[in-house]
Amino acid sequence: MIGDIDARGSVRKVLVLGGGSAGLLAGLTLKRMVPGLEVELVRSSEIGVIGVGEGTTALFPAHLFGELGIPKERFYREAEPTWKQGIRFLWGERGDYFYDFGFQYDAKFPGMERAAGYFCDEDCDDLNETCAMMRRGKVFLTGPLGRPLIRGEYAFHIENAKLVGCLESLAREAGVELAEDLLEGVETGENGVARLHFASGAVREADFYVDASGFRAELIGKALGEGFKSFEGGLFCDRAVVGGWERTDEPLQAYTVAETMDSGWCWKIEHEHYINRGYVYSSPFVSDDEALEEFLRCNPRVSSEPRVVRYRSGRRERSWVGNVVAIGNASGFVEPLEATALAQIIYASKWLSLMLREGGDERGRERYNDLMGKAWDEIRDFLAYHYKFNTLRDTAFWRHCREETSLGDFAGLYEMYREVGPGPELVTALPFHPNIYGIEGYLAHLVGMRVPYRVRGEVRAGDREMFERGRRRVRARVAAAVDSVEALAAIRSEGWRF
Ligand SMILES: Cc1cc2nc3c(=O)[nH]c(=O)nc-3n(C[C@H](O)[C@H](O)[C@H](O)COP(=O)(O)OP(=O)(O)OC[C@H]3O[C@@H](n4cnc5c(N)ncnc54)[C@H](O)[C@@H]3O)c2cc1C
């Protein structure tokens, strides 16, 4: 956790509009990282929260437990997360591969000259321990006493209502003042927002405002009119039908499933007592009724009333305008295929805290907007890779994706891959450094989907044998791994220490 450093600039009081996961994470992070700030958060239970957004990336536990110093015991008790080690893609020509938070295709087993990705034409399983565990329904390696080793790059599945409830109590305890009220009017001024008028009659004023009002974008969009950069030209899905059922005897898997559907894809998120499914689809290609019919056909156990969520893929031209920063869905949204929204909220909250600690001046604002813009655009392009090369189904939607998806700023990376395959020189084709996914993220999908490349080159004698030997060692190491049910029992047992 970062120590007691106060904001140096003129920002003393911040008002956060919105109490979904974005507003709460932003408020909590600001209060922890800039303790001298006065932070008030106002939200309306009449409007409520979006209620989706249940898969995290590995950044989430690292931020909560590392930077913010939230006690693990407390978080596990209140938010009741299950572990997510990655995503299982039922996708591409291969039809089934795993993507985790570590390295597979860009890595080498000891002694190998070439990266493992070169040897994955037939089989891409067991390239590292995490993926080998996911394949076998396991979640963590065990230590000498047979206890799970809960460490490394793991993420969570968390029910949205439980996450919001837990973040509320953490934020309150950290000193964030929480208020219930409905925003009715915004007075703007030279510097952006001057004051906010609420249904209760209260008028609230602050030096700085965080717009975390979700897709309504009350401050950045409605009041300040900041432009929206649409990604609809490259990412074609715009709706999701969401539903689920109470778990009975299904194994509790430590991964999200992303499964190809006729006009989009379907997630499966594993909570301890509930299985959540959502079909993300493209409304020009399928009606809501047809999507619902396909969703229920694939998920006959759905027992909750399915609901349709509409969204627009894209981002604000600038997330920080005057004295307003938009965080969460108010800032942008790039469909949930890689569960990136909570990670973006964390990046945004951290960068904002750092900029405010430095005074929150014009230079900081420009840096912030540049960083956030690049991050959103990279996620757009990363998702584009998923759509462009998925050959699993031959429907109008998928043909359109293959033909029309633009790879944006990351097109050069594919051009080079097409020539050289999973080689180290790919790093020179990255448009900027550092980027979010490195080379590994792109290779996971290119090799995972068996996207062809031209030059195979000589493979040094012995490399394949070392590759197979490495995979055998991986399999041996995961033989004693535990599954999620065993790991949950362990952390709830008497005497357990994180
Ligand atoms: C289909 C779908 C699936 C998703 N899956 C994932 C996922 O797996 N992983 C992930 O990280 N993200 C996912 N997301 C994104 C997810 O929505 C966000 O991560 C997250 O929930 C942030 O929401 P938010 O706080 O910005 O907005 P919301 O939850 O909508 O919160 C908005 C807040 O603003 C308040 N508010 C709005 N207007 C007013 C007003 N006038 N007055 C007072 N208060 C107001 C509301 O009451 C509420 O408290 C998904 C999104 C969609 C659409």
Which residue has the least CA distance to atom 40 on ligand 1? 183
Tens-digit pLDDT profile for residues 87-127: 999 999 999 999 999 999 999 999 999 999 999 999 999 99
Which residue has the least CA distance to atom 39 on ligand 1? 213
Please report the pLDDT score of residue 7 as a whole number. 44
Q: Ligand 1 centroid vs 342 CA: distance in angstroms?
A: 10
- Residue 265 pLDDT > 50: yes
Work out the percent of the chain whose per-residue pLDDT is above 70. 98
User: Strand, helix or coil at 26?
Assistant: helix
Please report the pLDDT score of residue 460 as a whole number. 84
Work out the percent of the chain whose per-residue pLDDT is above 90. 90
Please report the pLDDT score of residue 19 as a whole number. 98
Q: Which of 92, 85, 235 is nearest to 155 (CA)?
A: 85
Mean pLDDT, the chain, rounded, equals 94
Burial, 251: exposed, middle or buried (Cβ in 10 Å; 0-12, 13-18, 19+)?
exposed
Helices (H) and strands (E) in the chain, counts: 13, 21
Tens-digit pLDDT profile for residues 162-180: 999 999 999 999 999 999 9
Average pLDDT over residues 268-289: 97
DSSP state of 193: E
User: Strand, helix or coil at 316?
Assistant: strand
Q: Ligand 1 centroid vs 22 CA: distance in angstroms?
A: 7
Q: Ligand 1 centroid vs 323 CA: distance in angstroms?
A: 22
Q: Which atom of ligand 1 is nearest to the CA of 23?
A: 25
- Residue 154 pLDDT > 60: yes
pTM: 0.95
For 230, other C-beta atoms within 10 Å of its C-beta total 12
Choose the most confident range, by mean pLDDT, from 220-224, 435-439, 452-456. 220-224
Average pLDDT over residues 252-268: 98
On whether the CB atoms of residues 255 and 87 are closer than 8 A, the answer is: yes
User: Strand, helix or coil at 315?
Assistant: strand
Which residue has the least CA distance to atom 6 on ligand 1? 53
Q: Which atom of ligand 1 is nearest to the CA of 51?
A: 29
Please report the pLDDT score of residue 4 as a whole number. 34
Q: Which residues line ligand 1 (CB under 6 A)?
A: 17-23, 43-44, 47-50, 52-55, 182-183, 212-214, 216, 218, 240, 278, 309, 311, 328-330, 336, 339, 341-342
> Residue 10 — very low, low, confident or very high, per pLDDT cuts 50/70/90?
confident
Q: Which domains are delineated in the chain? A: 13-81+157-229+316-373 (3.50.50.60), 102-153+380-478 (no CATH)
